[in-house]
Chain A
Amino acid sequence: MEKYKGDSEFHTLNETLSKLTKIDAPLSFEEDLFNKIRDYDSVNFGFLKKIYSFSMISPVAGSVVLSLLFVIILSFSSTNGSDPFFTELLPRFDTIRKVIIDYNSSNNSEKIPNSITQREKILQREKAIEPEINKSSGVSSVKVLSSIQNIRQVSDSLYVYYSGQKNYRIVYLTSEEKNQLDKVKNRIFSQIM
């Protein structure tokens, strides 16, 4: 032990302190210590060791279980998630105006309004039911069809008015189709509510 002047200044004290009885660890020190370490090991690593040993014994089984879990998680998340790109759009009933035009009853022979006369007939009927449209749709200013050129036939009894100014179309339905539409509408509303 190297000396410096402080050491010689307190020479007697240093000697006394260095001659103090050395206090030893108890005889059971190591036994107690290794028991504590063993406890620490079993508490902290027991679970991890079990997993590790399982995967060592059967790596194939381990990988199969993991891949199954992965697939289950993926499929579960895909069914429950609401992906906006795959969600079916709900029909906007506020933009659909329904007009009941019973062509079958008025003119069975003229199912397809190809001629100007037939188209004019449609316009007349539409004008006649204009108040009804206002009541049912709640729209304050209903634009009456101005041009018969915009009327197109979709099916035997379905005629569609294509509006060039608006981003929706007016669909003319038969009473049967209207009933069907109402049923669908009710079903959708019952699901939403």
Chain B
Amino acid sequence: MPAKELKEYSDEELILDFQINDNKKAFELLVQRYKNPLTNYVFRFLGDYEACVDVVQETMIRVFKNKDSYKSIAKFSTWIYTIAGNLARTELQRRKKTVFSTGRNSEEEITLEIPDNRYRPDKILENSFKEKAIQEALLKISETYRKMVVLRDIQELSYEEISEISGLPVGTVKSRINRGRAQLQRLLKNIYKE
């Protein structure tokens, strides 16, 4: 029986090869497989393409540096999605803390959140009004629900996988996804009327 080629390996076999034999080719293949799904996931969560690329690159670097912390009892996809999700959430929290002062005296000082206007539909979404509205609506729903809705309805992961990624029971995952969907639907009601 001919030996299996590296590209035919499952994700788990590739990370195992990288762990045991330090095979960089195996890591490169994993990068090829996950760079786009992770970019899509993180972009839908953050709404900023540049930051999203940074987060995904950081995710890959973490995998490279901490390859030995992966345990074969878990699916590789849930492990890498967990890392990316955590980094994306950290990035989001960092952005929320970006405030500026009005420069008046301290009692009147107001802190304002800087809206993120770096969403680039011109380059990525070809100026689609509908897509832009959906992305904006996604960014308006709560962070917890958004993550789950993106994983389920955009990334099309199973409830079990989302449960593993979020560390929550499947029932909780399902109810949170439905709450997120309901919020999203309310925000998008004008689109559905068209």
Residues of A within 8 A of B (CB): 1-2, 4, 6, 9-10, 12-14, 16-18, 20-26, 29-30, 32-33, 36-37, 40
Binding site secondary structure of chain B: helix
- Near A by CB (< 8 A), chain B positions 152-189 give 153-154, 156, 158-159, 174, 177-178, 181-182, 184-185, 188
Contacts of A24 in B (CB 8 A): 35-36, 39-40
Beyond A10-B181, A17-B154, 9 extra complex contacts between A and B, CB < 8 Å: A13-B184, A20-B134, A21-B124, A23-B44, A25-B39, A29-B53, A29-B56, A32-B57, A33-B61
The complex places the Cα of A13 from the Cα of B188 at a distance, in Å, of 9
Which chain A positions have C-beta within 8 A of B43? Answer: 23
Chain A residues contacting B153 (CB-CB under 8 Å) are 13-14, 17-18
Q: Please tell me if the beta carbons of A12 and B159 are within 8 angstroms of each other in the complex.
A: no
A20 touches B181 (CB 8 A): no
**Judging by beta carbons under 8 Å apart, are B49 and A23 in contact?**
yes
27 pairs of residues in contact across A and B, judged by CB atoms under 8 Å: A2-B159, A9-B181, A10-B178, A12-B192, A14-B181, A16-B134, A16-B188, A17-B134, A17-B149, A18-B154, A20-B131, A20-B134, A21-B124, A21-B131, A23-B43, A24-B40, A25-B36, A29-B35, A29-B53, A29-B57, A30-B28, A33-B57, A33-B60, A36-B57, A37-B61, A37-B64, A40-B61
CA distance A176 to B110 in the complex (A): 93
In the complex, A43→B185 CA distance in Å?
A: 49
B154 touches A20 (CB 8 A): yes
Total contacts A-B at CB 8 Å: 84
B133 to chain A minimum Cβ distance, whole angstroms, is: 10
Q: Which residues of B contact A23 (CB under 8 A)?
A: 36, 39-40, 43-44, 49, 52, 124
Residues on the B chain within 8 Å of A12, using CB: 192
Task: Return chain B residues, CB-CB under 8 Å to A25.
Answer: 35-36, 38-39, 53, 56
Q: A1 to B61, Cβ gap below 8 A?
A: no
Cβ of B99 under 8 Å from chain A: no
Of all chain A residues, the one with the shortest Cβ separation from B128 is A21
Shortest 6 CB-CB contacts between residues of A and residues of B:
A17-B153, A25-B35, A25-B39, A10-B181, A6-B178, A23-B43
- Say yes or no for B6: interface residue by CB 8 A criterion: no
**B184 / chain A contacts, CB cutoff of 8 Å:** 13
Residues of B contacting A20 in the complex (Cβ-Cβ under 8 angstroms): 44, 131, 134, 154
Q: State the CA gap A49–B10 with chains docked (Å).
A: 32
B4 CB within 8 Å of chain A = no
A10 and B35: CB pair below 8 A? no
| Least Cβ–Cβ distance between A39 and chain B, in angstroms | 10
**CA distance in complex: A176, B38 (Å):** 98
B114 within 8 A of A: no
B115-133 residues at the A interface, CB under 8 angstroms: 124-126, 128, 130-131
Closest Cβ–Cβ distance, residue A46 to chain B (whole Å): 16
**How near does chain A come to B60, taking the closest CB pair, in angstroms?**
5
Tell me if B94 counts as interface (CB < 8 A to partner A): no
CB distance from A31 to the nearest CB of B (A): 11
Q: B134: which A residues are within 8 A, CB to CB?
A: 16-17, 20
Q: In the complex, A66→B184 CA distance in Å?
A: 67
Q: Are A4 and B159 in contact (CB under 8 A)?
A: yes
A6 to B128, CA, bound (A): 28
* Separation of A137 and B43 alpha carbons in the complex (Å): 93
Tell me if B31 counts as interface (CB < 8 A to partner A): yes
With CB as the reference atom, state the residue of chain A lying closest to B156: A1
Among B28, B31, B44, B126, residue most surrounded by chain A Cβ atoms (within 10 Å): B31
Q: Shortest beta-carbon distance, A11 to chain B, in Å?
A: 10
